[in-house]
């Protein structure tokens, strides 16, 4: 076999960013160590024997051993001794296993030796190492290179898809993840059936997948086969985020057959079922949230058994709110339904502190109290004993909530007259003939999906310009409230007056309409029966269902959803059209009073 030469200074066969940057490692060493710079110069001018002598001496210095061995390997490869070069590169890798340059050089020399399996394995190891460090943008081009050499490499396909999913390239991620499933299906019937079903469901909407499959060779998958259930969970995430909600349940069903005790798969299956309106299975699987070790709420150990539907006459039950403000507001009516249906002597509802004043004012009835969440998660918020406790979002399961039961207690959130009057005093004076419209454009930064669900306030500027009959009121609080300064004179900032949800509710009670992203304020206004324009990201939250413009939870909601991931422009255009229509209606029916 003919011996191929290697670049005297570095391996440049792979034109990918991580390789190009790795050359800078040598230049930095040369800047600090004159002898290393001399060795590189001798090497680049073809004086290889002299260069070898320099690097042999430098290899005696522990801090320079690995890069010196690498350069000795480059010299050996240049002279056609690829076997010796591979050994030197491997030695350098053992000394500095986190340096990508050594992997790239070793992979290239294996490729030149015609040993493609070892070349591919080396590059896969490098790509996986980069990915575990969160460097997905460096790993993805490597996987593409691997697939040029080994187009049936299962690890490269699924790991590339995982990297794309982690870097918010969900639609792109579906393609390699699907190919991974199809490859696995070449020897596992369940995977083959799933691949065929998913292709039938989404193939016509994903031509890039059809194109990739057209050139995929026959044969069994190559490389290490990762656990398919983990790949299916990532595929579910990519499908959900890319908007293929109808296809998600199929992949998770197979994942649960392969690993029935997988809590994350159960949790994701719950969300998929709920999004499709399958509440019976969805609420049952939703209980797996407490088994998933990454669930953000702690599983509380309270001094009473959890209620699972037992008789409550003469009993006391502690219902504790969980997750975000919106979740608590959405499901608070179930605490009232529990009290009405089962007749316990006492229901205590524990909620986050900013909700306490408002819910105490609204839920003013015997046998139902609202208290604040304690500092310690494993204690009741009051020094009393209870017969049972239950997380608020477990009530849908044990009360057998179904879609026909919605909406829950429409208009249940009605403030006392004095609070409504107080809210009017917080607002600027009403302008004759103009609707008062509240705006919220960002949620809590701590929310896992906040980067997707929040939008730049600047995008709403065109809506404010296009709706001349509106008085725009900012209901935004927190870090993003300051964004309103850019619209001084057109958008009235209320953040200084809104100390908790009672203040916000009092203001909303005096508004004609609310425009909001998916936050607690959207649930608050919906619970009050106010018209809400809800601005949603492309990846749908289960509660807003699939492809709908309305909500069974809040009849006065009008949903404006991204037509593609990150496409807020389509949302703004839809919102502008909705409010332009409302302007026409207002003009035809006379001015607002």
The separation between the first and the last C-alpha atoms of the chain, rounded to the nearest angstrom, is 91
Q: Write the pLDDT tens digit of every residue in 506-533.
A: 999 999 999 999 889 999 999 999 999 9
Q: Which two tokens stand for residue 215?
A: 């050139």
The number of residues making up the chain comes to 593
Kindly state the average pLDDT of the residues 557-570: 86
| pLDDT at residue 3 in the model | 41
Domain 161-295 adopts which CATH fold? Answer: 1.25.40
Give the DSSP letter string of 19-74. HHHHHHHHHHHHHH-HHHHHHHHHHHTT-HHHHHHHHHHHTTSGGGHHHHHHHHHH
Q: Please state which CATH number belongs to domain 425-589.
A: 3.40.50.2000
425-589: same fold as 316-401?
yes
Q: What are the structural domain ranges in the chain?
A: 1-150, 161-295, 316-401, 425-589
| pLDDT at residue 294 in the model | 87
| pTM exceeds 0.85 for this model | no
Helix, strand, or coil here: 541?
coil
Kindly state the average pLDDT of the residues 167-195: 91
Q: At 213, is the pLDDT very low, low, confident or very high (cuts 50, 70, 90)?
A: very high
Which of 323, 318, 317, 335 is CA-nearest to residue 298?
323
Higher pLDDT, 14 or 226: 226
| pLDDT at residue 583 in the model | 57
Those residues with Cβ within 8 angstroms of residue 488's Cβ, 6 or more apart along the chain or in another chain: none
Q: Write the pLDDT tens digit of every residue in 82-91.
A: 999 999 999 9
State the residue for tokens 């749908």. Answer: 540
Q: Which helix (H) or strand (E) segment is 266 a member of?
A: helix 263-275
Q: Which CATH architecture has domain 1-150?
A: Alpha Horseshoe (1.25)
| pLDDT at residue 242 in the model | 81
Q: Please state which CATH number belongs to domain 316-401.
A: 3.40.50
Higher pLDDT, 545 or 569: 569
């Amino acid at each position: 076999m003919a011996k191929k030469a290697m670049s005297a200074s570095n391996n440049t066969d792979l034109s990918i960013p991580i390789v190009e940057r790795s050359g800078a490692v040598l230049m930095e060493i040369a800047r600090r160590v004159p002898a290393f710079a001399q060795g590189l110069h001798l090497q680049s001018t073809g004086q290889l024997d002299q260069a070898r002598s320099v690097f042999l001496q430098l290899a005696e210095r522990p801090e320079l051993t690995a890069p010196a061995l690498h350069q000795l390997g480059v010299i050996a490869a240049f002279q056609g001794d690829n076997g010796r070069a591979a050994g030197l590169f491997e030695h350098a890798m053992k000394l500095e296993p986190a340096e990508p340059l050594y992997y790239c050089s070793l992979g290239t020399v294996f490729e030149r030796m015609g040993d493609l399996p070892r070349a591919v394995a080396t590059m896969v190891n490098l790509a996986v190492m980069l990915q575990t460090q969160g460097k997905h943008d460096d790993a993805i081009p490597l996987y593409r290179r691997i697939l040029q050499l080994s187009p049936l490499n299962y690890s490269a396909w699924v790991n590339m898809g995982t990297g794309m999913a982690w870097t918010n390239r969900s639609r792109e991620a579906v393609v390699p993840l699907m190919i991974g499933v199809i490859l696995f299906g070449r020897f596992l019937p369940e995977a083959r059936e799933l691949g065929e079903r998913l292709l039938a469901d989404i193939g016509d909407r994903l031509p890039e997948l059809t194109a990739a499959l057209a050139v995929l060779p026959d044969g069994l998958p190559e490389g290490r086969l990762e656990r398919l259930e983990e790949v299916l969970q990532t595929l579910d995430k990519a499908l959900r985020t890319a908007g293929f909600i109808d296809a998600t349940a199929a992949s998770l069903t197979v994942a649960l057959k392969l690993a029935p005790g997988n809590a994350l798969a159960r949790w994701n299956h719950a969300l998929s079922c709920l999004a499709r309106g399958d509440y019976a299975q969805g609420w049952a699987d939703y209980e797996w949230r407490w088994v998933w070790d990454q669930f953000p709420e702690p599983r509380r150990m309270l001094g009473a058994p959890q209620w699972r539907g037992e008789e409550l006459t003469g009993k006391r039950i502690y219902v504790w709110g969980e997750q975000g403000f919106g979740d608590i507001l959405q499901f608070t009516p179930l605490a009232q339904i529990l009290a009405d249906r089962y007749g316990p002597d006492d229901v205590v509802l524990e909620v986050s502190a900013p909700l306490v004043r408002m819910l105490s004012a609204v839920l003013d009835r015997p046998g139902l109290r609202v208290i604040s969440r304690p500092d310690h998660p494993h204690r009741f918020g009051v020094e009393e004993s209870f017969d049972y406790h239950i997380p608020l979002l477990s009530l849908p399961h044990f009360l057998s909530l179904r879609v026909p039961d919605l909406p829950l207690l429409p208009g249940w959130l009605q403030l006392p007259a004095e609070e409504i009057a107080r809210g009017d005093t917080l607002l600027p004076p009403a302008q004759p003939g103009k609707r008062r419209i509240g705006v919220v454009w960002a949620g809590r930064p701590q929310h896992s999906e906040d980067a997707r669900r929040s939008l730049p306030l600047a995008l709403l500027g065109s809506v404010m310009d296009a709706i001349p009959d509106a008085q725009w009121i900012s209901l935004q609080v927190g870090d993003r409230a300051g964004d309103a300064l850019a619209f001084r004179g057109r958008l009235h900032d209320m953040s200084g007056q809104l100390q908790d949800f009672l203040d916000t509710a009092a203001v909303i009670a005096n508004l004609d309409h609310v425009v909001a992203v998916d936050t607690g304020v959207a649930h608050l206004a919906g619970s009050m029966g106010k018209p809400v324009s809800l601005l949603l990201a492309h990846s749908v939250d289960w509660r807003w269902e699939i492809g709908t413009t309305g909500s069974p939870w809040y009849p006065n909601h009008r949903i404006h959803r991204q037509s593609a991931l990150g496409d807020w422009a389509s949302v703004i255009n839809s919102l502008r059209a909705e409010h332009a229509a409302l302007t026409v209606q207002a003009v035809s029916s006379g001015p607002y009073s």
